[in-house]
Amino acid sequence: MNGLLTVAGKMQSNKVLSAIKDAFIDNMPIVIVGAFCTLFQWVVFHHDPAGSTTVYLSLANIPGLAWLENLTPIVTTANYGCMNFMAVNVCILVAMHFAENLGRHGDKTVPVLALSSLVTLMSTSITATAKASDVVTASNGALELAKGAAEDTQVSIAAGSGVLQSFTDANALFVGLLVGILVTLLYVKLVNSGKVTIKLPDSVPPNVSASFAVLFPVAICILVVAVIGFIFNNVIGTNIFKVIATIMAPLKAIMTGLPGYLLVVFLMMLLWFFGIHGPNVMSAVTTAFMTQASAENLAIYNEIGKPYLSAGNYSIICNAFGSTFFSMTGSGITGGLIIAIMLFSKRDDYKAIAKLAIPCGIFDINEPIIFGIPMVMNPLFAVPFFCAPLLSVIIGYVLTKIGFCPIMVVDAPWTTPPVLLGFLASGGKLMGALSQLIAFASSILLYTPFVIAANKAPREEAAA
């Protein structure tokens, strides 16, 4: 226990991990709004054309409400603004929190520097490939490029200038994190050193003096980032976004695969058993992977509207999956314990605690039951406390794998009550709600024999 407390304490007090965790927490409302915009797109505004073989459960499909389809741009543009700049948002937020952790409270230059540094790494020229015949037809400016090429030859043309979506959305999330952390660290060290600071006379207004004081640190940071971008783009021949994505791909596969995720769940429950908030401790490590997987699922769903494995390259395990199958009614799925106590317990103390915990459990808050029973350091309930979330995750994964349960694509608020959460997270699919209900029922069955065994404890204590 002392060892776990030490490790957990170091993780929670680590300045980098703390900044990452706080950044994702701050960005959570934006992600939730973007996810619900997608939900509304398909369950409110989507209208199936006449003769369509697929009919969606949408208000716009009700006779007389087809006009709702015209309002679709309201939610699609909002979703774009919320979800497709996730890397930018996280980069700015993590830089702000990390600067505060390093003692630079209220430094307004930090978020602007982080944003500028991230954009500096982005390629702003966009090229596309097309058949030579199409290029000649499409643009006179491309005539010389395609001249003499066969009609089926693929040629590259300049498509204009701008920033690709893959540089700003969830695909660039880890680059955003690295830029936010490393650039802020370099900036703070330069400022604190005092060696590159411009000092102006006292007669200069304070705001002007403060800007000039950080001029050289900002310039050095931007130039360092620009040189790194140049090396990747012009020397190595690829951009840093692809390199980081390739490096992180194996770790992401482990974190979003069933064995790796089960290990994460086990570690969270182990920490909880010793009275440490497991998800809070582990979130700095897991949130980036889970959030990225959820954002990628949502992007695929935005294109096709079918959250099933056969419909696209979805990731089964993601943030929305964890909310649905790991933490419903709270870590350990203690809602199953509450119901088992109400049905089978003969202990008045357990029933009193369970009654008080019901309102909180409905909204996935389980501290009353964890510290009231208590679950902490309780050898009797340790087995179901550990196994209930593991079993629920396995059930959710298997049901999704066989196509019974839809992919979880909407990052609904974690306080959403069970069953309703499964419905919303799956994009408004009844099978998502049913799958979560099945997983929840398994936790009730798992807790029941241990609740019955606990009935003997008062008699044994009285006899002693």
**Could you report the per-residue pLDDT of 187-243, keeping only the tens digit for each?**
999 998 888 877 766 666 677 777 778 889 999 999 999 999 999 888 888 888 888
CA distance 47 to 134: 34
pLDDT at 214: 85
Q: What radius of gyration, in Å, describes the C-alpha atoms of the chain?
A: 27
- Residue 188 counted as domain residue: yes
Question: What does pLDDT average to over the chain?
Answer: 83
Rounded to whole angstroms, the maximal C-alpha distance in the chain is: 99
Phi first, then psi, for residue 48 (nearest 5°) are -80, 130
Residue 107 and residue 235 in one domain: yes
Q: Are residues 374 and 457 in the same domain?
A: yes
Dihedral Cα 323, 165, 171, 308, nearest 10 deg:
50
Show the CA angle centred on residue 289, arms to residues 257 and 82, nearest 5°. Answer: 130
Residue environment code for 407-438, b if the CB has 16+ CB neighbours within 10 A, otherwise e = bbbbbbebebebbebbbbbbbbbebbbbbbeb
Residue 378 lies in a domain: yes
Residue 160 has pLDDT above 80, yes or no: no
Domain boundary among 104, 137, 161: 161
- Report the share of the chain in percent with pLDDT over 70: 83
Question: Is residue 145 pLDDT above 50, yes or no?
Answer: no
pLDDT for residue 146: 47
Q: How far apart are CA 42 and CA 298, in angstroms?
A: 12
CA atoms of 447 and 338, how far apart (whole Å) = 9
Q: Are residues 242 and 371 in the same domain?
A: no
Q: Are 131 and 152 in contact (CB under 8 A)?
A: yes
| Residue 13 resides in a domain | no
Q: Which residue has the higher pLDDT, 210 or 66?
A: 66
Same domain, 361 and 416: yes
How far is CA 102 from each of CA 14, 110, 187, 463, rounded to the nearest angstrom?
11, 12, 11, 59
Please give the single-letter amino acid code of residue 336: G
What span, in angstroms and rounded, lies between the C-alpha atoms of 34 and 295?
Answer: 10
Per-residue tokens: 372: 């009231």
On whether both 144 and 90 belong to a single domain, the answer is no
Please indicate, yes or no, whether residues 370 and 440 belong to a single structural domain of this protein: yes
The yes-or-no verdict on residue 414 having pLDDT over 50 is yes
Rounded CA-CA distance 248/230 in Å is 22
Residue 200 lies in a domain: yes
Query: What stretches of 305-373 show up as alpha helix (H) in DSSP?
Result: 319-325, 334-344, 348-362, 367-372
Q: Tell me which residue range forms the domain holding 94.
A: 84-124+164-248
The per-residue pLDDT for 235 is 86
Q: Are residues 223 and 300 in the same domain?
A: no
**Distances in whole angstroms, Cα of residue 432 to Cα of each of 321, 399, 425:** 10, 10, 8
Considering 221, 248, 275, which residue would you say is the last residue of a domain?
Answer: 248
The whole-angstrom separation of Cα 239 and Cα 213 is: 33
pLDDT surpasses 60 at 277: yes
Residue 5 placed within a domain: no
Q: What is the mean pLDDT of residues 28-41?
A: 85
First vs last C-alpha separation in the chain: 29
Looking at the structure of the chain, the number of domains it has is 3
The pLDDT score that the predictor gives to residue 249 is: 85
358 in Cβ contact with 335 (< 8 Å): no
Q: Where are the beta strands (DSSP E) in 99-193?
A: 125-131, 154-161
Looking at the domain assignment, is residue 446 inside a domain?
yes
| pLDDT mean over 432-456 | 93
Show the tokens assigned to 386. Answer: 């550990």
Is residue 99 located within the same domain as residue 132? no
Verify that 197 and 226 share a domain, yes or no: yes
Looking at the structure, tell me whether residues 269 and 372 fall in a common domain.
yes
Global pTM reads 0.76
Q: Is residue 361 domain-shared with residue 289, that is, in the same domain?
A: yes
Domain's final residue, options 161, 186, 214: 161
2 part of a folded domain: no
Strand-pairing partners, residue 102, are none
Q: Are residues 209 and 117 in the same domain?
A: yes
Determine, yes or no, domain membership for 175.
yes
